[in-house]
Amino acid sequence: MAETTPHIPVLLDEVLEGLSPLPGQRLIDGTLGAGGHTEAILKAVAPHGQVLALDADPSALEIARRRLAAYGDRVRFVNANFAQLAAVARDLDFFPVHGVLLDLGLSSMQLDAVERGFSFQSAGPLDMRYDPNSPTTAADLVNNLAQDELADLIYRFGEERRSRAIARAIVAARPLHTTQQLAEVVARGVGGRRGDRLHPATRTFQALRIAVNDELDALRAALPAATSILAPGGRLAVISFHSLEDRIVKEFFRRESRDCICPPEQPVCTCGHRATLHIITPKPITVTSTEAALNPRARSAKLRVAECMEQ
């Protein structure tokens, strides 16, 4: 993957304030990408603090490894899904940690790499995998799912109201091989509407990317995993880019910050649940208009931070 557009780390100051890394501490970046957040954390924990950096995409690791070469063995790189982050940290004896960062979704480098098939702006293969060894590509879903399954997927993961018409158009045009073919079929299927801010294929592409990479289940697995390896007072920071992700983070933080999670109508607590997190950001932090102008990718970003409680 070429380093075309440099990936600008989103909400960098706010992430640092949220994680509050101090010299000598150990933190995990579950979504290394181009290594922008990791580098800032490495500076904050200098001279001896360490970062364990994970990415599902080996080519992102390669780029970040070159960028962060000067930090030597203060940064460790692992090609893994963040759903596995607690297991990876335990294997490397890298726990408890003072912070975990998840900056979800894809990087500008992945979006710009035509051969990865994330963008509808150019004719790439229908791929969309972060991990090139994972079994399912976007082409597999687009060309093999039944029309109803495709419509459900586009509705669930794209929150696309016109999912049925889109699925019908896709099935009629199969087999599809490129991102541009798919974008054209979707646009023809739904018709552009005057005043639409988004390209008509935006939500369909989001849905396929989420499904191909099983993104929501990975996030659901990563949140308790991260919490389980935080030191008391350690922080978990998550940047999400759409409402499906943000809802999962918000509900997890809410649940883990409560001592009882019994249904409200139940008169006596039987769950035995104890709060593990204290919410630092009751409302998510969003970007300033200056950051949004400099980095359009950041516009929909929401940062939530929680702190691990003493047990």
Give the whole-angstrom CA distance, residue 57 versus residue 81. Answer: 9
Q: Which stretch binds ligand SAM (CB under 6 A): 17-25, 54-62, 227-235, 288-296?
A: 54-62
Decide: helix, strand or coil at residue 268. coil
| From 16, 18, 28, 82, residue interacting with ligand SAM (rule: CB under 6 A) | 82
Would you count residue 210 as binding ligand SAM (CB under 6 A)? no
Residue nearest to ligand SAM according to CB distances in the complex: 33
Would you count residue 99 as binding ligand SAM (CB under 6 A)? no
Would you count residue 7 as binding ligand SAM (CB under 6 A)? yes
Would you count residue 57 as binding ligand SAM (CB under 6 A)? yes
Would you count residue 106 as binding ligand SAM (CB under 6 A)? yes
- In this structure, what is the dihedral angle of CA atoms 265, 271, 274, 278, given to the nearest 10 degrees? -40
Say how many residues touch ligand SAM, by CB under 6 A.
22
Please, what is the angle between helix 179-190 and helix 202-212, to 10°?
A: 130
| From 44, 60, 166, 249, residue interacting with ligand SAM (rule: CB under 6 A) | 60
Q: Which stretch binds ligand SAM (CB under 6 A): 29-37, 173-181, 182-190, 195-203?
A: 29-37
Which secondary-structure segment (H or E) carries 55?
strand 50-55
Measured from the CB atom, the residue of 91 and 196 that comes closer to ligand SAM is 91
Residue numbers 130-159 binding ligand SAM by CB under 6 A: 130
Measured from the CB atom, the residue of 130 and 169 that comes closer to ligand SAM is 130
Which secondary-structure segment (H or E) carries 2?
none
**Distance set, CA 111 to CA 5, 198, 215, 297 (Å):** 9, 16, 16, 11
| From 26, 37, 235, 250, residue interacting with ligand SAM (rule: CB under 6 A) | 37
Measured from the CB atom, the residue of 134 and 288 that comes closer to ligand SAM is 134
Burial of 214 (0-12, 13-18, 19+ CB in 10 A): middle
Measured from the CB atom, the residue of 83 and 182 that comes closer to ligand SAM is 83
Give the whole-angstrom CA distance, residue 97 versus residue 231. Answer: 6
Give the whole-angstrom CA distance, residue 306 versus residue 285. Answer: 12
